[in-house]
Amino acid sequence: MTDATSRCTSRETSGPTWRSRSKSAIFLQHRFRSYNLAINFHVPKDRLISDPSFWYLIMCLDLARMGSRDPLFLVSSEDMHRHASPRLVGDTWHFGFHASMSPDSKDHWRPSQVAAKDLGNRVLQLLTEPRLRMAPSDATVQELSRLEHLVWVRRS
């Protein structure tokens, strides 16, 4: 598993803002009739952020093509922290994201599937949702600014 290595920050927080942390794997598990993406990660308890404007981008990297494999999964932090097998061990939250790559999947993560070519439009769609139209609080911006490997997106 790897994190995205890009980080963009902006002091100006007016208008809709969307943030993403990427998680990726380089292989898929083959179970039953489909391939499954499994990613385990952990977050220190004092760094866990569940906010409507904070999302995870989950993907399988195809090393032969040097790109991602469809589908990608765009998951709100609230949904991820609630449904990705959360376990608190000491001062650290452990998560296990396990999703079918099948477009016909019936698992919890199916609504989060997005084709790589549609990702930009999906993010723009999220920015128009009412819960993201308000500027984030200064406390939220400060907390998110401490995270590594974070991508900030906002409409100009």
Radius of gyration of the chain (CA): 16
- Mean pLDDT value of segment 19-36: 72
Quote the pLDDT of residue 16: 56
Task: Give the Cβ contact number of residue 127 at 10 Å.
Answer: 17
Q: Which stretch of 14-18, 28-32, 126-130 has the lowest confidence by average pLDDT?
A: 14-18
In the chain, domain spans = 2-154
Statement: residue 30 has pLDDT above 80: no
Quote the pLDDT of residue 22: 72
Task: Give the Cβ contact number of residue 97 at 10 Å.
Answer: 22
- How does DSSP assign 86-122, residue by residue? -EEETTEEEEEEEEE--TT--STTGGGEE-GGGHHHH
Quote the pLDDT of residue 10: 32
Q: How confident is the model at residue 15 (pLDDT cuts 50, 70, 90)?
A: low
Q: Are 119 and 72 in contact (CB under 8 A)?
A: yes
Statement: residue 11 has pLDDT above 60: no
pTM of the model: 0.76
Nearest alpha carbon to residue 66 among 116, 118, 119, 10 = 116
Q: How confident is the model at residue 17 (pLDDT cuts 50, 70, 90)?
A: low
- Whole-number Å distance between alpha carbons of 61 and 25: 6
Here the tokens at position 144 are 């998110």
Percent of the chain with pLDDT over 90: 42
